[in-house]
Amino acid sequence: MKRKVTLKQIAKELDVSISTVSRALSNSKEIGEETRQKIQAFAKFYNYKPNNIALSLKNRKTKTIGILIPEIVHHFFSTVIRGIEIIANQRGYNVIIGLSNESFSKEVINMEMLANGSIDGFILSISKETLLHQDYHHFKETISQGIPIVMFDRVVNDIDCDKVIVDDYNGSVNAVKKLISTGCKNIALITTMDYVSVGKLRTQGYLQALEESKIHPKASLILKLDDSLALEEHLDVLEKEIEQFFMNNEKIDGLFAVNELYAVTAMKVARKLNLNIPEDIQVIGFTDGVLSKHARPSLTTISQHGQKIGEQAAHLLIDRLELDDEEDDIEEVDFERDMNFKTVVIETELIERDSTK
């Protein structure tokens, strides 16, 4: 077991000082050609690589990004991670992951854990419980400690940070407009409770599209479901709820669902009720995941481009980190400056498949 070799060992072995070794390896030209060659050869032979931890301590930056998300077994979130990872890697950063599991306390603990030096900045999506409590002190504290945050998808206004959001509103408007333009008269909406910002926005988009076409929204055509129904063990309940909804609204000929699970389940129910898709009822979902692609019929959907979101978020964060570096050098105007936080909106895309005409 040959432990990694350190500068100290090389120095001792070659009978020079540690600083000479350090300089030789960084190609400092104040080192004599001969010694440099010798040291570099030796280092190469023993496969010397500087220790990241030591560098982190010295430079007071870790070159790693903390990702904090509610759930990882989830197509959208994993796609975002992939986007972050790609950019992070390109720009020399690592990625460390914390899962909140939709719990407020796990989010706080994870954040504090990582904030103690392990990471340079966060990219996160807020847990449902946090959104419900509306307790954002941990974000504020982290930011006030000089650790930048980039929020994506589930964001809140009152935090000063960069944000990357999906254009939920316009995405929904487009989805519903598509349904209207293909002849739907009674368009239903299956959505979540309002405290999840995206659910709210998508609902607003639905209403907006109706309004633009002078269609009066009917409360009975809107089904608000508890998120817990999305859990695997409650799938049957979900199906029953939707079935009941269909029974109460006989004339539904178009359906917009705020996620793909709701959409696919609704399609199941529709078939059960002998409705043909898309002839009798057209369906559009949100989020282009595995289900949408492989459903029967395949599901027309609003794609969120999760990977692009991740890439953007990573760029925003790293840009800010490296900007902070420069400012540290100058060491001034730290007070009251406009931090210039950006909110990037990633446009959605309507992907037409077989569940619409």
Strand partners, 187: 254
Closest CA to 97 of 15, 55, 74: 74
| Closest distance to its own copies from the beta carbon of 299 (Å) | 11
Residues numbered 99-158 forming contacts with its own copies, rule: CB under 8 A: 99, 110, 112-118, 141, 144-146
Establish if 295 lies at the interface with its own copies (CB under 8 A): yes
Establish if 37 lies at the interface with DNA (CB under 7 A): no
Establish if 113 lies at the interface with DNA (CB under 7 A): no
Given candidates 12, 13, 41, 55, which one binds DNA under the rule CB under 7 A?
55
Given candidates 1, 2, 26, 331, which one binds DNA under the rule CB under 7 A?
26
Establish if 41 lies at the interface with DNA (CB under 7 A): no
Backbone φ, ψ for residue 344 (5° rounding) = -95, 130
Establish if 40 lies at the interface with DNA (CB under 7 A): no
Mapped onto helix, strand or coil, the DSSP state of residue 124 is strand
Given candidates 12, 13, 44, 57, which one binds DNA under the rule CB under 7 A?
57
Nearer to its own copies (CB atom), residue 187 or residue 311:
311
Quickly list H helices, the chain.
7-14, 18-25, 33-45, 52-59, 75-90, 104-115, 128-133, 137-144, 168-181, 197-212, 235-248, 260-272, 290-294, 306-330
Contact (Cβ atoms closer than 8 angstroms) between residue 95 and residue 88: yes
For residue 225, give both structure tokens.
């479901």
Size of residue set near its own copies by CB under 8 A: 58
Residue 275 carries which DSSP code?
-
Query: CA–CA separation, 130 vs 45, rounded Å?
Result: 52
Residues that bind DNA (CB under 7 A): 6-8, 15-20, 22-23, 25-26, 30-32, 34-36, 48-51, 53-55, 57-58, 60
Residues that bind its own copies (CB under 8 A): 1-4, 47, 49-54, 56-57, 62, 64, 72-75, 78-79, 81-82, 85, 89, 94-99, 110, 112-118, 141, 144-146, 232, 235, 261, 264-265, 268, 271, 289-291, 293-296, 334
